[in-house]
Structure 1
Amino acid sequence: MSDFNKDEYLNDLPDMDDLSGQAAPAAASAADGASAAGATQEGAAQPAAAQSQENGDSAAADGADKADAADGKADDTLTPLGQAKKEAAEYLEALQRERAEFINFRNRAQKEQERFRQHGIIDVLTALLPALDDIDRIREHSEMDDSFKAVANKIDKAFEKFGVEKFGEKGEDFDPTKHDAILHKPDPNAEKETVDTVVEAGYRIGDRVIRAARVVVASPQN
């Protein structure tokens, strides 16, 4: 066995500075590799996320387009019989609407026609009132020959045909809504106000008074 020489052994060992120089580059290389790997993963993750968002938006848009297309093609899915029933329902609805509008127009036209008719009758009656009053005075105060009486009756019937009603008679209760009292005279026998004398007869059409009857009213004394 040879003797161990300590000095020779120590001289053969490598220098610590050389070892430090070799370790530093190795560590730096390892760190650079890790950084590069992280950057690569991050770069890959960003396009992936963007692609995912893009795909989601595209899917939503496709869904909306498909819904619109489904609505637009709903009629295409009907059978010929179903399509015919649908069109018939639409035509019936339009016909009913037109019928309702026509009925409303007809009713308005009838009301307008009746109103114009009444106005015409009122105009003629108003123009003939003085002559009608003279006929009534002749009836009351003198004898009428048959020919004149026939003419007067024809006039009365003609107005009755058009809905004109003559009113105002002696002895009926006084009504201020249809009687125009030109004089009140006390009457000891009167228990309430009554028509004593009809000066001019009244005329009305339906509920519309054309002229109130002008009368003398007998009133209770007290």
Structure 2
Amino acid sequence: MTEETNKNGPDAAAHEAEVSATTEGQVADESEASAEQLLDPVEALQAENADLRDRFLRLAAEMDNLRRRTDREIKDAKSYAVTGFARDMLSVSDNLRRAIETLPDEARAAADATWTALIEGVEMTERGMLATLERHGVRKIEAEGQKFDPNFHQAMFEVPNPNVANNTVVQVVQAGYAIGERVLRPAMVGVAKGGPKTETAAEDATKV
């Protein structure tokens, strides 16, 4: 019995050592798995935090753009809300001006006090209307003597005039008006033809 125990002794010891090593390995694996489980939530939270931060920055940028766009639209609405009304009032002003210009200077000179008062009243009405429109951002486009600009002028005819630079506005048939940065009505003009070249035209010709 003792001999059998002695014979089996080394094998039993080796088996116990193997079992012990296996147990330690399992414990180590379990410890490593536990550590990974602890790290994964942290990484997940970090990723979620980064995603939320990105969404917040995008939302903040969109809100800022919306605010700027809204402010611009409100400003434009205030500036151009009277566009249609102003255009209609310009037609009334044109009629007042035509009525005034219908009377020749001789008729004015010969008019009695009643007609003189009437003419002055019409002129005052026209000036008051234009002053009111100006307070609301409507301004007259100064055209005569300026270089023709299709953005602000509408050419009605050409006037041969060698004493004036070519494409210079020499006559205004109907005054033009602008509201804010927009043209409410272009000025109808006559432009010079055949005069000396403007500086811009001369420079362009030199470059060619």
Taking structure 2 as the reference length, the TM-score comes to 0.61
Q: 1:66 to 1:130 in 2, by over 3 A?
A: closer
CA shift for structure 1 position 204? 0.9
Structure whose alpha-carbon radius of gyration is higher: 1
Range moving further from structure 2, 207-216 or 123-132: 123-132
Alignment correspondent of 1:164: 138
Q: 1:104 to 1:170 in 2, by over 3 A?
A: closer
Matching of residue 50 in structure 1 with residue 22 in structure 2: yes
Deviations 1:181-221 (A, max 9, x none): 11112123333332222111111123322221111112226
Task: Provide the C-alpha distance between the structure 1 equivalents of 2:64 and 2:152, rounded to a whole number of angstroms.
Answer: 37
Compare relative contact order (CA 8 Å, sep 6+) and give the higher one, 1 or 2: 2
Deviations 1:14-41 (A, max 9, x none): xxxxxxxxxxxxxxx979954x334313
Matching of residue 115 in structure 1 with residue 89 in structure 2: no
CA shift for structure 1 position 61? 5.5
Write the mapping of 1:16-27 to structure 2, written as runs, cut at 5 A: none
Alignment correspondent of 2:192: 218
Q: 1:67 to 1:186 in 2, by over 3 A?
A: closer
Matched residue SS, 2:178: strand
Alignment correspondent of 1:187: 161
Task: Provide the C-alpha distance between the structure 1 equivalents of 2:97 and 2:67, rounded to a whole number of angstroms.
Answer: 41
Structure 1: 5+ residue runs without aligned partners? 1-28, 69-98
Write the mapping of 1:1-222 to structure 2, written as runs, cut at 5 A: 34=7, 36-60=8-32, 107-142=68-103, 145-220=119-194
CA shift for structure 1 position 173? 3.1
Q: 1:189 to 1:66 in 2, by over 3 A?
A: closer
Q: 1:200 to 1:100 in 2, by over 3 A?
A: same
CA shift for structure 1 position 179? 1.1
CA shift for structure 1 position 132? 2.5
CA shift for structure 1 position 102? 8.2
CA shift for structure 1 position 65? 7.7
Task: Provide the C-alpha distance between the structure 2 equivalents of 1:160 and 1:212, rounded to a whole number of angstroms.
Answer: 16
Q: CA RMSD in A?
A: 3.8
Matched residue SS, 2:88: helix
Q: 1:205 to 1:187 in 2, by over 3 A?
A: same
The question of whether the paired residues in 2 share the 8 Å contact of 1:169 and 1:198 is answered with yes
CA shift for structure 1 position 105? 5.9
Range moving further from structure 2, 100-109 or 138-147: 100-109
Range moving further from structure 2, 102-111 or 189-198: 102-111
Taking structure 1 as the reference length, the TM-score comes to 0.58
CA shift for structure 1 position 166? 0.9
CA shift for structure 1 position 108? 3.8
Q: How many positions carry a matched residue from both structures? A: 165
Deviations 1:35-75 (A, max 9, x none): x334313321221012111322344456568889xxxxxxx
